[in-house]
Chains A and B, each alone.
Chain A
Amino acid sequence: MEKIGVYIDTGYGIGEALDIDALKDVAVKEYKVPLCKTRDYWCDEDAVGEIKSDIEKEGLDGLVIAGTSPRVHRDIFSFEGIYVERVNLREQVIWCHPAGDEDTQMLAEDNLRMGIARAKKSSFKPLFPETLDEDIDKTILVVGGGITGITAAQGAADAGYKVVLVEKEKELGGWAAKMYKYYPVTSPYTELEGPDIESKIEAVKNNDRIKIYTGSRIFKLQGAPGLFDAYIMPDGDWENKPSYLVYEAKKAALASAEGKEDKKEEEKPPETEAPKEEEIPADAFKERVGAAVLATGWRPDDPNKLEFLGGGKFKDVITNIQMEEMAKNGAIKRPSDGKEVNSVVFLQSLRENEENPLIYCSSVCDMVTLKQARYLREKNPDAKAYILYKNLRAPGQFELFYKKTQEDENIFFSKGNVYGVEEEGGGLVVKVKDSLLGEDIKIKTDMVVLGMGMVPVTLDSSVLNLDYRQNAAVPTNKFGYPDSHFVCFPYETQRTGIYSAGCIRQAMDHASCIEDGLGATLKAIQCVELTSQGKAVSPRAGDTTYPEFFMQRCTQCKRCTEECPFGAINEDEKANPLPNQTRCRRCGICLGACPERIISFGDYSIEVIGSMIKAINVPDEFEEKPRILLFICENDAYPALDMTGFHRMQYNAWIRVIPMRCLGSMHLVWIADALANGFDGMFLMGCEKGDDYQCHFVKGSELAGIRMEKIKETLDRLMLESERIRVETVSIADYNKIPEMLDEFAEKIEELGPNPYKV
């Protein structure tokens, strides 16, 4: 920024703990800022008024406000069109370091130096291209025309958006339309409910805002949020099209991965590419859309895997899907001879056995069984139903349906492990151990119904055939679900603008699918709205910065295109990165990846952070004041460090803090800068990684760890102790552990002695 005003807050005890005149000298004498003011509580209304009038009178374009943490009063210190840099003197200086102390003062002065340096180097450029705004299309693409997709399409249309709905079957409705009855979701939750999907299908068909393609699939989805082009291939001949539509390999991987935790590699979908331009069939339709709801649902697990239960072997061992079809078509009869069924054994939790422990539970199978036992009894009042289970799962108000079902004397419940089903005397025999009676029992029955697990179709198919550099499929987790943060960002995938809904993201009941269709649609709408304003979506919602690539210096090393957790960057034939601005989440991981240092944000770049490092006064080795640079993730670790201060826990004052958008945006050159500047140690603090990662940008923390391992090797080669660099993961609740971590590291650095490159 060109003209910066510095405002130092002396309230909150800052004025007593620090030498404010010396701080002022830093701004006025060292940095020669045109305006530097001090007072108690700049957050007060009259003070904010004063800042506003300074902005106008002095023509300031940047402010440095030194006082509370940037996490506090963000709303108050927000001025239209003005760059605001906050210098943390309270939480991270006076609350965690002794007042009136030389080291505390040096820390405060360095913090101010870093703030002013950053404000000077930062700019609002590059601006998001205005032309993009006009091109942004807000149509919502819904893929999958089951209950989830239909609800999503209707919801988007009701909210005023155009919709393109694509369903691979000839008719809309999916599984919901194939059901005979639903288990109850309305009070008093005890009686079966009829399917109500027909009216919903009609409503969607008659809605002018919704354009429907049935019997169609997405051949290719290219582009970025607001600018997607969907190539839709009609009328069913896809099975004979190129093999990328079906992942046979993936199916095999799933079969082998079930329960085998050491086979993670195989669980990943095979790398595939979207079809090329010339492969697009002439009869494909092209639709411009802004964001997509992925609602392609599930398929039942393969009953052939359950041969020991007669799955795929005996005609009268059927799946719960077949049972539903039979009931919908009329009477429930034995497939083998068409005789009326007088007894049925229902089996649940089928993948749960010693060799093959269940990875996930399909949530609804027990409820489906209860439902089917009930309608079996309705259709055939003489029939008996036996329900064998491990843990009968009827959560929430479903318990009442379970209870009501238990009242029927001809529905028998028993816990037990079924170890075999055999054909015997014209019927079936189900063999059970660990039953209630404690001994092995055999149940003779006319028919066995297998409660099949639900498998997300993302395990079989790339579905959207994304024209993305990383893979044509949306990345999936160990369960095969395409998600990114299970608890906190439920609908998000690792592809910006594509939101998963319904059974594709976890097995769920009909009522939950309806809510899910609406929720994912909201996210899609939010995406097109924010995108049209040049803003990022969550977790940096509203951020208007975006990265600029200085292409002249690019060496086509592909690191940025490989490491972006959101697959935002494509490549041309020569491996030049093709940034897709509207896919970008502004985490800066590409910046951290680029060895040529060509990727920058206006307020976050090699130069901006480098200027902060260089701004710090590093005492020479005779002063015996080592300096440690703490690169800290601003999402969790930074607030945790604030909390350390809030609890007045003390830690070493040699530490200088630089917040990172994500630890994955940490660039190795900053380590080199720090070493060259005489820093003795570098500490990197980021979020938890691994399966249960807390990194807001999925892979950032992990990538930082990998990069640092590499630089440690380099340090060792340079005969510089690799212990000078430490990477730790912390959670936001670890504030009480941080002082020990930092102090221990500081001790270690003191032991190692000064950085030999120190001037």
Chain B
Amino acid sequence: MSEKGSVLVVGGGISGITTALEAAEAGRKVVLVEKEPYLGGRVARMNKYFPKLCPPTCGLEINFKRLRQNPDIKVYTLSQVENISGEKGNYKVTIKVNPRYVDDRSATTQCVEECPSEIDNELNYNMDKIKAVRLPLDMAYPMKLVADRDALEKIKDSDEYNKFASECEKKGIKINLDDVPKTIEENVGSIVWATGWQPYDATKLDNLGFGKYKDVITNVIMERLASQNGPTNGQITRPSDGKKVETVAFVQCAGSRDENYLPYCSGICCLASLKQATYIRDQYPDAKIYIFYIDLRSHGRFEEFYNRVQKDENIILIKGKIAKVTEDPQTKDLIVEGENTDTGEKVGTKVDMVVLATGIVPSTKDEPAPIDATYDEFGFMLEDPAKSGIHPAGCVKKPMDVGSSLSDATAAALKALIDTVK
């Protein structure tokens, strides 16, 4: 049981980690709740940040270092807030903590390769399979294995499994499928909601071919393809046949700024595509990249990055909205077609791969907080001091880039401090 002056942060992505650390280093006790078995959220699944093109693991590592040395932050992974009652200054929170079903002290991954069961790798958007006992990420926090109970339950009576489990035991890895979720209660004075965002579901965009053609991918999938710890060890290749790519089209506003799908602009997709164009150019000296956009929204100092990318003659920016993507059944080449939004002229080209720049959907759209909080019509959470008193931070509030999420999450930490003034 925590003291009254403590802070609950829900969501262990970059925003939640930031709020937790900033509040704790300013003298508060913090409870951080994350539903995945690792911290880092979306950022942990990215290859690089724009505009510096630096790896997110750099920023995560420093935050993990701060976490490891700070006894004032309690981290619950694989956990969810089930119930909140009370009010600002005095909330009672119920948290369900799921077990990892495996205890390995600190991830060694020895034995993991021998695990007889495989599951879809949700982290890589199911592009590949992973072992049912695994370390979620190579730089995961906490550095601990996790087991998929459902998958292992199915094979638990097999000899293969029992041999694996006893080998693990010898190496100090204990699998315990009988472990059960725990429910804990925390008393906190302030709540910050930082559950982040989900990529817009591209299968809803019928005309753009996602889910129909293998080589039509989304921007979040591109991040995994380009990542060293992704399904292709960082090699950007066509999902259909593993071939190198020579031409790639980026379709901006895939579902965004469109009343049929997402009426708002996600603010970061233009920059993400410019960044991803540099990934491809780094790997393929001759590749040609077409970026189809309505307005290139590189606000603030990102403009300089836009100017830098524009200097690459092989990155061609075309003002136009793509209406459809089709596949040549013989060559598997993709044909993108549309029109210049200003002039009405037809635009289009034939490419090896299409990347849909899909937008940000707040996680609260499908999973609102278990208290009567306030949202806008798209599911973004709003401050409501007179009602729930919960503070949204990061992309749960509006679409934002990583730097903005960090500044926003730091601001949320001050709000939490104010709520818990002794």
Mark the stretch among A423-431, A574-582, A731-739 that contacts chain B. A731-739
Collect the chain A residues with CB atoms within 8 Å of residue B71's CB: 75
Collect the chain B residues with CB atoms within 8 Å of residue A395's CB: 265-267, 297, 299, 399
Contacting pair B265 A522 (CB below 8 A): no
Q: Smallest distance from the beta carbon of B298 to chain A beta carbons, Å?
A: 7
Q: Smallest distance from the beta carbon of B60 to chain A beta carbons, Å?
A: 9
Contacting pair A541 B403 (CB below 8 A): no
* Interface size class, chain A: 35 or more
Q: Name A158's contact: one of B25, B109, B418 (CB within 8 Å).
A: B418
Please tell me if B309 contacts chain A, counting CB pairs below 8 Å.
no
Collect the chain A residues with CB atoms within 8 Å of residue B266's CB: 395-396
Contacting pair A396 B106 (CB below 8 A): no
Mark the stretch among A336-344, A353-361, A590-598 that contacts chain B. A353-361
Assembled-state Cα–Cα distance A646/B228 (Å): 14
Contacting pair B414 A525 (CB below 8 A): yes
Contacting pair B138 A525 (CB below 8 A): no
> Taking chain A's interface residues, is the majority helix, strand, or loop, or is none over half, making it mixed?
loop
Collect the chain B residues with CB atoms within 8 Å of residue A391's CB: 295-298
Contacting pair A75 B69 (CB below 8 A): yes
Contacting pair A490 B58 (CB below 8 A): no
* A41, A358, A639, most chain B CB atoms within 10 A: A639
Collect the chain B residues with CB atoms within 8 Å of residue A639's CB: 57, 61, 139
- A479-537 residues at the B interface, CB under 8 angstroms: 479, 481, 486-491, 506-508, 512, 515-523, 525-526, 529-530, 537
Collect the chain A residues with CB atoms within 8 Å of residue B403's CB: 486-488, 490
Q: Name A44's contact: one of B27, B105, B265 (CB within 8 Å).
A: B105
Assembled-state Cα–Cα distance A443/B185 (Å): 67
Please tell me if B125 contacts chain A, counting CB pairs below 8 Å.
no
Per-residue B-contact encoding for A354-371, CB less than 8 Å = 1, 0 else: 000111111100000000
- A637-668 residues at the B interface, CB under 8 angstroms: 639, 643, 646-647
Q: Smallest distance from the beta carbon of A403 to chain B beta carbons, Å?
A: 7
Collect the chain B residues with CB atoms within 8 Å of residue A678's CB: none
Collect the chain A residues with CB atoms within 8 Å of residue B411's CB: 515-519, 522
Contacting pair A41 B303 (CB below 8 A): no
Mark the stretch among B48-56, B146-154, B175-183 that contacts chain A. B48-56
Assembled-state Cα–Cα distance A646/B304 (Å): 37
Assembled-state Cα–Cα distance A696/B264 (Å): 36
Contacting pair A41 B105 (CB below 8 A): yes
Contacting pair A12 B172 (CB below 8 A): yes
* B304, B342, B402, B407, most chain A CB atoms within 10 A: B407
Please tell me if A199 contacts chain B, counting CB pairs below 8 Å.
no
Q: Smallest distance from the beta carbon of B52 to chain A beta carbons, Å?
A: 4
- Contacts A187-B377, A397-B376; A522 near B26 (Cβ below 8 A): yes
Assembled-state Cα–Cα distance A692/B167 (Å): 47
Per-residue A-contact encoding for B98-111, CB less than 8 Å = 1, 0 else: 00000001101110
Contacting pair A361 B299 (CB below 8 A): yes
Please tell me if A702 contacts chain B, counting CB pairs below 8 Å.
no
Q: Smallest distance from the beta carbon of B88 to chain A beta carbons, Å?
A: 13
Assembled-state Cα–Cα distance A519/B414 (Å): 7
Contacting pair A488 B301 (CB below 8 A): no
Please tell me if A11 contacts chain B, counting CB pairs below 8 Å.
yes
Collect the chain B residues with CB atoms within 8 Å of residue A646's CB: 109, 138
Mark the stretch among A53-61, A66-74, A104-112, A750-758 that contacts chain B. A66-74
Contacting pair B228 A538 (CB below 8 A): no
Contacting pair B27 A396 (CB below 8 A): no
Residues of A within 8 A of B (CB): 11-13, 40-41, 43-44, 68, 71-75, 78, 155, 158-160, 186-189, 357-363, 389, 391-400, 403, 414-415, 436, 438, 479, 481, 486-491, 506-508, 512, 515-523, 525-526, 529-530, 537-539, 541-542, 635-636, 639, 643, 646-647, 688, 692, 694, 696, 731-733, 735-736
Known: A361-B302, A519-B413; 18 extra A-B contacts, CB below 8 A, are A159-B418, A160-B421, A187-B377, A360-B304, A363-B299, A363-B300, A395-B266, A395-B267, A397-B376, A399-B263, A415-B342, A479-B301, A486-B301, A488-B403, A522-B410, A541-B70, A635-B62, A731-B58
Give the 9 A-B residue pairs with the shortest CB-CB distance, closest first: A395-B267, A733-B55, A187-B376, A519-B410, A519-B411, A518-B411, A522-B414, A361-B303, A515-B411
Residues of B within 8 A of A (CB): 22-23, 25-27, 49, 51-55, 57-59, 61-62, 65-66, 68-71, 105-106, 108-110, 138-139, 143, 171-172, 228, 257, 263-267, 295-304, 307, 319, 342-343, 376-378, 380, 382, 398-400, 402-404, 406-408, 410-411, 413-415, 417-418, 421-422
